[in-house]
Structure 1
Amino acid sequence: MPTAPTFLRSPWSGRADPVETERWMTVAQAVADTVAADAAERDRTSARPHRVLDLLRESGLANLLIPEEFGGHGAHFETAFHVVRALARVDASIAQVLGYHWLNQACVTFYGPDPERQAHWYRASARANWVWSDSFNPVSPDLEIVADGDAYRMNGLKRFATGASVADVIIAGGIASGGAHDGELIVFVLDANRDGIEHIDDWDNLGYRSSASGSVRYTDVVITADDILGVDKEEPFSSVVTPGVQLLFGNIYLGIAEGALAQAKTLTLARPNAWFLSSADRYAQDPITHRVFGELVSRTAAVEALADTLNRSFDEVIALGADTTAVDRAELEVRIAQLKVVSTEVGLEVASRVYELTGASSTRSSVGLDRHWRDIRTHSLHDPVDYKRIEVGNHFLNGVFAPISLYT
């Protein structure tokens, strides 16, 4: 049985400075403004976001986190999560695809201990402006990966492969049968259009309609040694990618809440007159309107404060590289679970209650205010938030950490 890989230094260190933050938030806002122009139309038609992904490549965001030595921009995850939040305000589907791209791209480091192979993948990605997706859904049927000479052949179906049909490469994994990695969970990178890969257009859900989250079917897909990033040993550093995914979700839910509030503000300021029992001349001057906005804005600001702290903490933990301990990883994960709980609750409440402020006319399909609620209601079911509550409570009472998994 091969020994566990020895992970080297992390390519990420330090923290985002104001120059980095300002530069990329300016880019993010420009991209968000463009994305917003036809977000409602993409939602109505469930269109795959090919043009938007081109925009992400052209803007430099696709290479944001690749180290400068490999041709990227060398930014930090704190910056990336702020960019995701800006995009989620206008289109959560695009924010999800971009956030997954960065975390899947980072698997080059999390699962690939060989520095030469890391350099190969990062340089190839930066040079071609690859967008990365994944086909790693643990509750979808497992893939069959069987040795075939020095290679493997893979068969099976993976559902909810967000972005796979529009991405350049796909991260996938499964237990190998036979060959050099018999019995091990191998993680590998495949061209999204490799022979035997079929993208199935079966995503027909309430929200996230332009996230390209259809299934992927694999039929005798060849996996060579050159495709394999590494082996998942549930080693503390490599498993930090999972809290990163949950942190991405928290930032997206926060961005959805902020986007719902921003749109509700615009609609409310445009409302004529006021309720006939009100002493105010306009809805925007009504104390009841002020009270509801005040409540929702304050709760959203509290989630923002927690997310900002954790975004920076994530950079601090992944900078440890091979020195990351199980406790480092577990403490980060339980704090991110807290964000998952409150961002879900606040996001759902805000996206629903803004209608109390904007009135019946805002329920028109052409207004598109419902996208915020539909998106967060759809994605917040990704994994049950009650289990996050249990995880946080068990740790608070008994000091127990959740086991390492693809959800915790």
Structure 2
Amino acid sequence: MSTSGAQPRLAVVDDAPKSVPGPQRSSTPAHVIKDDAEAIAVAERLAAAFAPGSSERDARRIWPTAELDAFSQSGLWSINVPKAFGGPEVSYATLARVIEIISAADSSIGQIAQNHLGVIAAIRTVSDPEQQKLLFGEALKGVRFGNAFSEFKSKRAADFETTFTEAGDHVVVNGRKFYSSGAILAHLVPIVALDDQGRAWYAIAERDAPGLTVIDDWSAFGQKTTLSGTVILDNVKVPKTHLVPGYKGYERPTADGAIFQIIQVAVDTGIASAAIAETIDFVNTKSRAWVDSGVERASDDPYTIQAIGDLTIRLHAAQALQERAGRAIDQAVENPTAETVAQAQIATAEAKVLSTEIAIAATNKLFELSGARSTLAEHNLDRLWRNARTHTLHDPVRWKYAIVGNHALNGVNPPLHAWS
């Protein structure tokens, strides 16, 4: 397992944002998962190790350096590499379940893997076999792809000002990015940059390439340790072997957008699962029965029982739609047509609605059912609400309702992009 070149840093309120170096690559190749069952078993083992420190990492903003090394070395970062290239190619239902399990333990760590797995999927869709062999080989070794996609001041999320110019056997990238989850401790950084025709490519740069600066300035109140922040690109050279034509994934129907989205679904489902588990534990061990309840234990309060039942049913509904979406994505990957891709997008949008709603509901109900003592700082239970509220803002649920409704009512397929 690697020893990161970047050491965990405790956030101090008056610290100025700092440029930070990237990590070293592991000298040991990562494990390669055999099948879906092993992927779930490995995720559960890692989650058991990640959960005990998650509250402290949130409270003190400690980077999950060792945890991330364990995660990427476990083989879970290559589970959607195709079998033809030596990967396990698990079902996307399994991939989503893996992210859900990890996110229940620490949702920041679950989110860090999102763009890596999405880029792996995009490479399968748009790259030629030679590039696929090269980049899938990196993922199988345990190399982590971060991201430098979104820009802070653009009018819309899909608007980009970052560009690249041709320079022989490489391109030169210039721009500025934000919301760069995973970039701090990535080994490679896929950068969304436009060519001279306005087409978006993934220019995959070395994390410590000259001119590539990552600043630790992520200040959101939730998802504090997603290793995000500003990425500055000043004449960054990227070899053409690492220039991926991402735009091709949205010129025709592909599952690329749904794949990015189902991972977001799974993060929220994981947060909801953790919140319900914390509520049950707190009610059973720390909460007092209400004065008018006529019961000795808070867990015997009929209104609390009803509320836990409601949350559990809604969680199970979200998980069921998440699995259904994963199966629909599998079909769209295997046979990408306008119909199969639209079905995958719609199924994923439906899952996103329920996962968002149960994440917010469960993290709210945690305090209502557990009582005033659950708000004490020593428990840090507010991290679950903060994480849910922050992460669910990535893709507005009101627009998920819109694409589902427009498809049902008017037969209009969802748009093709990374947010649909």
Task: Tell me the TM-score normalised to structure 1 length.
Answer: 0.88
Q: Counterpart of 1:368 in structure 2: which amino acid?
A: N
Q: Counterpart of 2:226 in structure 1: which amino acid?
A: S
Matches within 5 A, 1:150-165: 150-165=169-184
Mapped to 1, the partners of 2:293 and 2:383 lie a distance apart of: 30
C-alpha spacing 1:99/1:149, structure 2 compared with 1 (3 Å)? closer
Partner of 1:98: 113
Mapped to 1, the partners of 2:346 and 2:388 lie a distance apart of: 22
Displacement after TM superposition at 1:294 (Å): 1.1
Partner of 1:119: 133
Cα deviations across residues 323-373 of structure 1 (Å, max 9, x unaligned)? x11232122212211221222122111110121211111111221221111
Partner of 2:164: 145
Contact in 1 for aligned 2:260/2:418 (Cα 8 Å): no
Displacement after TM superposition at 1:100 (Å): 2.6
Mapped to 2, the partners of 1:140 and 1:378 lie a distance apart of: 22
Mapped to 1, the partners of 2:83 and 2:415 lie a distance apart of: 35
Contact in 2 for aligned 1:144/1:154 (Cα 8 Å): yes
Q: Tell whether 2:195 aligns with 1:176.
A: yes
Mapped to 1, the partners of 2:147 and 2:240 lie a distance apart of: 19
SS at 2:368's partner residue? helix
SS at 1:333's partner residue? helix
Correspondence for 1:365 among 377, 381, 386: 377
Q: Tell whether 2:251 aligns with 1:235.
A: yes
Q: Tell whether 2:404 aligns with 1:392.
A: yes
Mapped to 2, the partners of 1:186 and 1:310 lie a distance apart of: 27
Cα deviations across residues 194-228 of structure 1 (Å, max 9, x unaligned)? 11110011100010001011111100011332221
Displacement after TM superposition at 1:290 (Å): 0.5
Displacement after TM superposition at 1:383 (Å): 2.5
Q: Counterpart of 1:336 in structure 2: which amino acid?
A: T
Displacement after TM superposition at 1:272 (Å): 5.7
Q: Tell whether 2:151 aligns with 1:135.
A: no
SS at 2:245's partner residue? strand
Partner of 2:353: 341
C-alpha spacing 1:347/1:364, structure 2 compared with 1 (3 Å)? same
Q: Tell whether 2:302 aligns with 1:287.
A: yes
Large movers: runs of 4+ above 4 Å: none
Contact in 1 for aligned 2:176/2:233 (Cα 8 Å): yes
Quick check: 336-345 or 58-67, which moved more? 58-67
Partner of 1:327: 339
RMSD between superposed Cα atoms in Å: 1.9
Cα deviations across residues 256-296 of structure 1 (Å, max 9, x unaligned)? 11110001111111036521211111101111111111111
C-alpha spacing 1:86/1:298, structure 2 compared with 1 (3 Å)? same
Mapped to 1, the partners of 2:83 and 2:350 lie a distance apart of: 33
In structure 1, the gaps of 5 or more residues are: 1-18
Displacement after TM superposition at 1:157 (Å): 0.4
Q: Counterpart of 1:397 in structure 2: which amino acid?
A: L
SS at 2:223's partner residue? coil
Partner of 2:8: none
Task: Tell me the TM-score normalised to structure 2 length.
Answer: 0.85
Contact in 2 for aligned 1:186/1:230 (Cα 8 Å): yes
Contact in 2 for aligned 1:49/1:166 (Cα 8 Å): no
- Count of residue pairs the alignment pairs up: 380
C-alpha spacing 1:395/1:44, structure 2 compared with 1 (3 Å)? same
Correspondence for 1:33 among 16, 35, 48: 48
Partner of 2:364: 352
Mapped to 1, the partners of 2:287 and 2:81 lie a distance apart of: 50
Quick check: 142-151 or 347-356, which moved more? 142-151
SS at 2:195's partner residue? strand
Displacement after TM superposition at 1:183 (Å): 4.6
SS at 1:106's partner residue? helix
C-alpha spacing 1:284/1:371, structure 2 compared with 1 (3 Å)? same
The structure whose RCO (Cα within 8 Å, separation 6+) is larger is 1
Q: Counterpart of 1:120 in structure 2: which amino acid?
A: L
Contact in 1 for aligned 2:205/2:237 (Cα 8 Å): no
C-alpha spacing 1:136/1:85, structure 2 compared with 1 (3 Å)? same
In structure 2, the gaps of 5 or more residues are: 1-33, 151-156
Identity over the aligned pairs, expressed in percent? Answer: 29
Partner of 1:374: 386
Mapped to 2, the partners of 1:151 and 1:307 lie a distance apart of: 40
Cα deviations across residues 51-95 of structure 1 (Å, max 9, x unaligned)? 111111332222333245544344332221111111111211111
Quick check: 70-79 or 82-91, which moved more? 70-79
SS at 2:221's partner residue? coil
Mapped to 1, the partners of 2:55 and 2:288 lie a distance apart of: 28
C-alpha spacing 1:159/1:280, structure 2 compared with 1 (3 Å)? same
SS at 2:166's partner residue? strand
Mapped to 2, the partners of 1:185 and 1:101 lie a distance apart of: 17
Q: Counterpart of 1:236 in structure 2: which amino acid?
A: R
Contact in 2 for aligned 1:21/1:79 (Cα 8 Å): yes
